[in-house]
Chain A
Amino acid sequence: MLLRELYQEVIIDHNKNPRNFYKLDLYTHHAEGFNPLCGDRISLYFEVKNEKIENISFQGSGCAISMASSSLMTENLKGKTILEARKIFSEVHAMLTGKEVGETEKIGKLTVLAGVKEYPARVKCATLAWHALASAMEHKHV
């Protein structure tokens, strides 16, 4: 495994210039992701209308993997339905933990994160935003 396969250009880019990196003024869902072992933290916000994620954003600090994963996630999920988001969550989770991935086309650019599965200590960095997503989908913010 080459280091470059973990730190792909896309990851470096999203770490440097995270997309959707702000707090939404109006949101219906919100969750905090915190990894007490390493101190990575993210706040995730999204607005759901008619079962669709109209807007999504995040803020936080952490390593390149956690920041890029969060940024790529928001980019991917904008415009998706909640049902689709749940499917993508399962696919990404499977990819990051080295399990069989069903429909790769759904996760698109997120496949750049696949290298993480070779680094067991770093998997939690990549999954942080996704667990925040799952948690936010469970607890609607009113």
Chain B
Amino acid sequence: MYNVEEIRKDFPVLRQMIHGKPLVYFDNAATTQKPQCVLDVILKYYQEDNANIHRGVHTLSERATRKYEEARECIQKFIHAKCKYEIIFTKGTTESINLVAHSYGGSQLQPGDEIIISQMEHHSNIVPWQLLCEQKKCILKVIPINSRGEILLEDYKNSLSSKTKIVSITHISNVLGSVNPIKEMIALAHERGAIFLVDGAQAPAHTRIDVQDLNCDFYAFSSHKMLGPTGVGVLYGKEKYLEIMPPYQGGGSMIRQVSFEKTTYADLPYKFEAGTQAIAGVIGLAEAVRYLTALGLENIENYEKKLLSYIENKILEIPEITVLSQALKKSSILSFVYKGVHAHDIATILDHEGIAIRAGHHCAMPLMSHLGVDASCRASLALYNTQDEVDSFVEGLKKVKEVFKSVIT
């Protein structure tokens, strides 16, 4: 039985008033809140085990190393990777994508090769490829989306060719919430000999990930969007690709032997983990994964599905609102515009009601210009949000009319 009131007790940040109203946190696609257990393991690590990893022979270093490597196994199981050394710790999704663009793209692509992305990508899944294309004289192709906010699969099929070397697509759109048919898209890319990277930033806190079932070549995600701390992310990569890729950064930990004549690199995953890593963050992420696993991703997904259909129905009470996201398969993200009132004004009015939403272009400017809006509002829900909060949100939206009545009438 999914008991949201009990779950909420695990999140201390939710117990506060904003402008005299209980906080309603609907900005989960930007970052999620952290349960007490995650905060506890981070504190405990610094209080009891803090040491550098893979270096010392002393007890603290061995303890810190063990916890760090246990975290890797925990992530491996969570996304069902084949081996633990296919899990590389990074700073976040952005760094994970940059790592692949720089290291795989930089070493494997030739002038004239093509990279495919979609129209709904976040800037962090656009700009690294543009930089690569500029450097390697490659071509970036963009798959359009339909009016519901779904990738046009026919266009995708037609764009694939023997020139396609990399396809990089978001699992779930951070603006529209659309869940893309990545498994099918991955199979199609593989038929053409291209590798496939999934930008998974919006997925792991909302749906179960199985990288072997998807058969993706890379999967990138961030700790802070799945109840973990900021500053940590993951790059999953198939061993055969990680092996042929040169290091992304040079430094300590990533070497086998260094001399001024010749340096040899460490084995996976350390080849890609130069310098002291965010050890406490990695341990915190593993705890977040244990928390999500204990709740059960299927349960979370079912709960959020109900919450999404509740908010989608409830928002119809406000005729001035147009919902931008209409995909048939959707995660718990609702993007909308309010007739005659700018998104930032909506966000300020809602903030006065204690409600946190995102307003702006959501780091997806090309998508926004496709939708024909400068800015939109986004309410993004997570496992601890409730129907009562949705009610407060809709009541809050009714205040917009009071403030702007002379504009709307």
Contacts and interface: CB of A to CB of B under 8 A. Distances in A.
Interface of A: 3-4, 6-7, 9, 12-13, 15-16, 37-41, 61-65, 67, 119, 122, 125
Given A16-B407, A62-B342, A122-B344, 18 more contacts: A3-B349, A3-B399, A3-B403, A4-B403, A7-B403, A12-B404, A13-B406, A16-B406, A37-B360, A38-B344, A39-B361, A39-B375, A40-B344, A62-B344, A63-B345, A64-B342, A64-B345, A122-B348
A122 B345 CA distance: 9
Interface in B334-387: 341-345, 348-349, 352, 359-361, 365, 368, 374-375
Contacts of B375: 38-39, 63
Given A6-B348, A38-B359, A39-B374, A63 B403 contact: no
B406 A63 contact: no
A1 B68 CA distance: 47
Contacts of B374: 39-41, 61-62
Which of B343, B345, B349, B365: most chain A Cβ within 10 A? B345
A64 B404 contact: yes
A6 B167 CA distance: 47
Contacts of B359: 38
Interface of B: 341-345, 348-349, 352, 359-361, 365, 368, 374-375, 399, 403-404, 406-407
Contacts of A4: 403
Main DSSP-derived SS at the A contact region = helix
27 contacts: A3-B349, A3-B352, A3-B403, A6-B348, A7-B345, A7-B403, A12-B404, A12-B406, A15-B407, A16-B407, A37-B360, A38-B359, A38-B360, A39-B368, A40-B344, A41-B374, A62-B342, A63-B343, A63-B345, A63-B375, A64-B342, A64-B404, A64-B407, A65-B344, A67-B342, A122-B348, A125-B344
A62 B352 CA distance: 20
Contacts of A119: 348
A26 B219 CA distance: 55
B366 to A, nearest CB: 12
A116 B406 CA distance: 20
Contacts of B341: 64
Contacts of B348: 3, 6, 119, 122
A63 B107 CA distance: 45
Contacts of A39: 360-361, 365, 368, 374-375
Contacts of A12: 403-404, 406-407
A9 B406 contact: yes
A61 B367 CA distance: 18
B127 to A, nearest CB: 13
Nearest to B375: A39
Nearest to B365: A39
Of A40, A41, A62, A64, most buried by chain B (CB within 10 Å of CB) is A64
A119 B407 CA distance: 22
